[in-house]
Homo-oligomer: A and B are copies of this chain.
């Protein structure tokens, strides 16, 4: 039978990241490609105890639950967000299957085909996939070191009348960049003025390499809530990076009307996410020092980033450039203008190293001489070997190039 797929299906690309992950599985390849946290630092024992606690209760824990998610966990997330400067009540939260589902559900209730969405360039690949599946008109914004440019934003707010601005302003995926406080205020003010919803995606914000937490800029959500009137920022976070991904528990926060509509969409999408995982996280938050755990993994990731950074710096690749991220999981490397990183990857994999070519993170006009390097999943003593292999691929790429030029 010849299946006639929907337009949405035709606009669903597969994630290059995941395709590469599949390609490297089970082989002796050092992968700087995935966005995986360090398995060595999952709080396995505390998680074991949390599940054991949950399942030692009565069998009602195994029954259907609320679409919005397990209420005590929502309470704890609300309290935690409030302490982080985002005043939140439980009724303003829906728990989701990772923050990925939050992005998908928000797009579902906001976007009709052809609606414009503004994004950073480059931006989170799987968000581009979701936007594609809703057949959004994706327009990229210009950025500098402080974040997206207000003039360009205002111009595009006027020109395109977008429905949504999607951003990862803190320790961004893929660039690791962080917007300045001033720029954040400006962006929130502009979107409030033009009545455009912002989706602030913040999976990495708590993984900070700065010892002085006060030096971290506010979330857009915190800035938005300092004004009176309705919220303009919907905010999504996750336990995937600060606890563990397999529990698939994220959340989205927004005005209560938005949250009600999101809950309806979630009800149709899957009734609710795993309650056992949600209850285990609730137990974990009761008995485990999550803040200390976040400090520990942040220190470890900072150290791994330093190793990666100094390895690259010491190689002095011609024309290469990067900015050290102040948190998160990724370092964004720009190579010499002539290096096509997708071509480079084909040489790198046989040499035993993988990364994500930068071009997949752009909706248009990709910078092909860029790549995303993850520093959280590779053991620190292996990172130098990864960069050695990358250099070897780069040398081969340049030699091939020279040969081609000579022909």
Contact = CB atoms under 8 A, between A and B. Distances in A.
Interface string A173-208: 000000000000000000010010100000000000
Interface residues on A, range: 35 or more
Nearest to A17: B267
B5 A264 contact: no
Contacts of A3: 110, 197, 255, 257-258
Contact of A64 (B36, B47, B111): B36
Copies of the protein in its oligomer: 2
B55 A270 contact: no
Nearest to A54: B51
B104 A269 contact: yes
B51 A55 contact: yes
A248 interface: yes
A277 B44 CA distance: 16
A34 B63 CA distance: 11
Contact of A130 (B9, B59, B257, B268): B268
A9 B265 contact: yes
Contact of A63 (B15, B36, B47, B197): B36
Contact of A197 (B1, B108, B126, B230): B1
A34 B97 contact: no
10 contacts: A1-B230, A39-B62, A44-B62, A51-B55, A96-B270, A97-B270, A108-B133, A126-B271, A274-B276, A276-B277
Top 9 nearest A-B pairs (CB, nearest first) are A62-B244, A9-B109, A97-B270, A101-B270, A274-B274, A246-B275, A42-B59, A1-B230, A48-B55
Interface of A: 1-9, 12-15, 18, 34, 36-37, 39-40, 42, 44, 47-48, 51-52, 55-56, 58-65, 67, 96-98, 100-101, 104, 108-112, 115, 126, 129-130, 133, 163, 192, 195, 197, 229-232, 240, 244-248, 255, 257-258, 261, 264-265, 267-277
